[in-house]
Every structure is written in structure tokens, then in C-alpha cells.
Amino acid sequence: MSKAHILAVDDDPDILELIEYNLGKEGYRVTGVSSGEDAFIFLNTESPDLIILDLMLPGMQGMDVCRKVRSNPHLNAVKIIMLTAKGEESDIITGLDTGADDYMTKPFSPNVLLARVKAILRRRDTEPVSETERIARHGVTLDPKRHDVWLHDNKIDLTFTEYNVLHFLMRHPGWVFTRYQIVDAVRGDNYQVTDRAVDVQIAGLRKKLGDYGHLIETVRGVGYRFKE
């Protein structure tokens, strides 16, 4: 199983190194940056699974980073752990109210941070996604209310069936579905279709997704899944 991509934002290089080492040895892919501005340079092209965010940053403060992430529909699925020396009750309440999923104070135990990361990502992966909830994964954003799909800021046009296939797979990241399960989900039970017809829809969808087409993975001998 592929591990999550984590963005760590802290102006202390020793803290970044500690986070990168401890999460990296657990298999997570960690990108470290030292400012809020650098975080958004990264977020303009990538959509991580989780952000570990210091509050006291040069330039843009951590709270402002959190607010900006939460106001961006393309990043609404990203989880945030605030990791900071500000440990007053009022700071914690403000951080959580701003949109953080968890709040840890420095100094911190790397093992506790790892446990918090695992818990948040596990909770995210088991949270049901409703059929009308906007989904953002790996830079692909899907809005069921508008039937719109974006690759970051670029909107793409899909056929009715291509959109429904993508919506179904993105609602269940990491789950492997047979071709007939996909057909039943997007067209209703007992719809008669060949394996080849599903493959054609997937091929067309991958082509329109371009550089993001690899997110729809083929599981040999079984079917397809959207990258976890």
C-alpha cells in the first residue's frame, strides 16, 4: 500500500529534519518547507494528504496558511496538524476553530506525532464521502453539484459516463473494483456491458486526465482503483 504525502511547514531546520526522518522511515513521503509562502508555491502544483504546520512562521503566519488552505476548494480534503510552541488553551481553540484537524505543542515526541498522523489518515480513509460532497485528491478536484472536474485550476470536459466512473472511483480511494462493479455503480444493476466497454471508458478518462491519468490504477486480473 502506498503511503501518504505529507507537507511539513516549519522555519526550524532541525524540526523539519526530525519530521522528515521519523515519518520517512515509516514510508511516508515528506516535503519540508520553511515558510507559508513556500508552502503555497508547493500547493499550487501538489495536493498533499496532510500538512504539519507551525504557527510562528516568517511572513505568512500558520493561522493564515490554515485559513487559506481551508478556503481553497481544491485543498478541502487536506488534513492539518498544527505543531507549535503556542500551547495556551486559547491558542488550541483558535487553531481548531480555524480548521486544524489536530493540535500538538512543542517540544513533542516523534512517536506521538507519528501516532497522530496515522490516526488522522486512518480516520480520513474510513470517512464516508457523500455523493454530493466535493472531492479533492492528488490535484484532481470533482464537484458533484456542478458536475465539474479540475486538474488544479484547469477545468476538463468529461462525458456523462466518464464523469460517473471517476466520481465512483474517487469516492473510494484505494478500493479495487471489478469492471462489472463499476458498471453497476454508474449505470445501475444488471446493465449489460462487456469488459471491453469499461476498458474503453477508462482509457478515454485517462487520456483526458493527461499527466494525472496514472491515478487510475489497473489491478491486473481484478479491475481498477483510484490511487490511495
pLDDT band at 4 (very low <50, low <70, confident <90, very high): confident
Q: What is the pLDDT of residue 93?
A: 83
Nearest to 48 by CA among 104, 8, 15: 8
Task: Give the pLDDT confidence score for residue 152 in this predicted structure.
Answer: 84
State the average pLDDT over residues 44-56: 90
Whether 210 and 163 map to the same domain: the answer is: yes
pLDDT at residue number 29: 92
**pLDDT tens digits, one per residue of 183-221:** 777 765 444 555 677 888 899 999 999 999 999 999 988
- Same structural domain, 45 and 117: yes
Shared-domain flag, residues 122 and 16: yes
Q: Are residues 19 and 116 in the same domain?
A: yes
Same domain for 40 and 119, yes or no, is yes
Domain end call among 94, 126, 158:
126
Over 60: is that where the pLDDT of 1 sits? no
What span, in angstroms and rounded, lies between the C-alpha atoms of 71 and 58? 21
CATH number at residue 149: 1.10.10.10
| Residue 122 and residue 148 share a domain | no
Q: Are 140 and 170 in contact (CB under 8 A)?
A: yes
Do 15 and 81 lie in one domain? The reply is yes
Q: What pLDDT does 194 receive? A: 57
Question: Where a domain ends, among 126, 155, 189?
Answer: 126
**Cell representation of residue 157:** 470536459
For the segment 29-48, the average pLDDT, to the nearest whole number, is 92
Q: Are residues 120 and 26 in the same domain?
A: yes
Domain range holding 186?
135-226
What's the pTM value of the predicted model, to 2 decimals?
Answer: 0.59
Calculate the dihedral angle through the C-alpha atoms of 157, 147, 133, 81, rounding to the nearest 10 degrees: 30
pLDDT classification of 90: cutoffs 50, 70, 90: confident
Are residues 139 and 104 both part of a single domain?
no
Picking from 72, 94, 126, the residue at the C-terminal end of a domain is 126
Same structural domain for residues 103 and 19? yes
Q: Residue 125: left if φ>0, alpha if ψ -120 to 50, beta else—which one?
A: alpha
Same domain, 162 and 216: yes
